[in-house]
Amino acid sequence: MKKNLLAAMLLMTLALATQAQELKWKVTGRVANAEAQDTLTVIDVKTQRSVTTLNVKDGQIIPAVGTLTEPVFCAIQREGRTGWIMSFVLEGGTVTLDVDLDNSVLPGASGTPMNDDLSPLLRYLAHPVGGYNPTKDEEYAGHILSLVREIVLRHAWDALGPFIIQMTQTRYTPTETLALISLLSEQQKGDLDMQRLQDNMTLAAETDEGCMFRELTGVGRDGQLARLSDYVGRGHYVLADFWASWCGPCKARMPQVIGLARRYADRGLQVIGITMKEPVEASERAVGQLDIPFPQIYQSTPMSTYGITAIPAFILFAPDGTILLRRTISPEAVEAKLESLLASSRIVK
């Protein structure tokens, strides 16, 4: 009898534990720029696997429900489109999404604890106050950093802290990223992905803004040895564009980079391309297809030399080789920075 009672109590305890771990979620909301009937896929950002499907009718998400054992950080992809719309947390409760299929950032996600804390950042990324102005990019990045810092401080002991650092780390400097990581609990710092990011940012901080450039060698378009020092530190501003033929966003913005190279060539700017993780043949083929006119350095080591882990990315070097700018920013913001620099200095040609 006692054995049966103990067994029953054990089963009840297990059932309660399972129930406690089971998070029931529901997703509702609105979708702008959708077809009358549309389908969205919710993707786990970490595993890149589909979590669920959202059906949309007349701009409204037909409520979807499900269960999970822990919060999942998600992006949205429209059926038949490339690229993700970032980002919300699928967690216990009802999350209400504000989706715009023409924006790469969710304008809003609310209704659950993590999403409510994430929402101010999403709103600012999707619709900056006063609109995005390339001439105020540093101010824009500073406000993003402030919002992210608030989230990290509130979520230093759970997974949202590390996730938001990973999601936004290309928008500010390596030193600033390391400062955010330092706010995390020891447990979250011990996460494998966070350890890798910290190692990369520690390396990148050695070539942060204000530091002197480091030599980088590879192969030029003529098949001969090519050095970064062939261009940097020779009395001109140099813009290094880190890209690859397999990187869709890199290729999408290449016409703007080419425009920069042509407009500022006679004002003392040299643009160079530095490719990431691909054979020379693939790089050379893409250069021809995109009609890129500026020099290239293939098969170099931008990751181990400069800590470049995400592309597209720019590094802007001063005439003496000092690093002036190294963040993932738009070509328009780079141009605004150049205009400011060129207006206040004389370029040695």
Residues 6+ apart with CB under 8 A from 281: none
CATH of domain 217-344: 3.40.30.10
Using the predicted structure, report yes or no on whether residue 348 has a pLDDT greater than 50: no
Q: What is the DSSP letter of 234?
A: S
Structure confidence by residue, pLDDT tens digits, 55-99: 999 999 999 999 999 999 999 998 777 678 989 999 999 999 999
Q: What is the pLDDT of residue 14?
A: 44
Architecture of 22-127 per CATH? Answer: Sandwich (2.60)
Using the predicted structure, report yes or no on whether residue 7 has a pLDDT greater than 70: no
Instruction: State the first-to-last Cα distance of the chain, in angstroms, to the nearest integer.
Output: 95
CATH 3.40.30.10 positions along the chain are 217-344
Residue type, 222: D
Using the predicted structure, report yes or no on whether residue 148 has a pLDDT greater than 70: yes
Whole-prediction pTM value?
0.77
Rounded average pLDDT over 294-318? 90
Q: In what order do the strands lie in the sheet with 323-325?
A: 296-297, 269-275, 237-243, 313-317, 323-325
Q: Where are the beta strands (DSSP E) in the chain?
A: 23-32, 37-44, 49-57, 60-61, 64-68, 72-78, 85-90, 93-100, 108-110, 217-219, 225-227, 237-243, 269-275, 296-297, 313-317, 323-325
| Residue (of 328, 330, 301) closest to 167 by Cα position | 328
For 246, counting Cβ atoms within 10 Å of its Cβ (0-12 exposed, 13-18 middle, 19+ buried), the class is middle
CATH 2.60.40 positions along the chain are 22-127
Q: What is the pLDDT of residue 326?
A: 86
Q: What is the pLDDT of residue 252?
A: 87
When pLDDT is cut at 50, 70 and 90, the band that residue 17 belongs to is: very low
Q: What is the pLDDT of residue 135?
A: 65
Residues 132 and 143: their CA atoms lie apart, in Å, by: 12
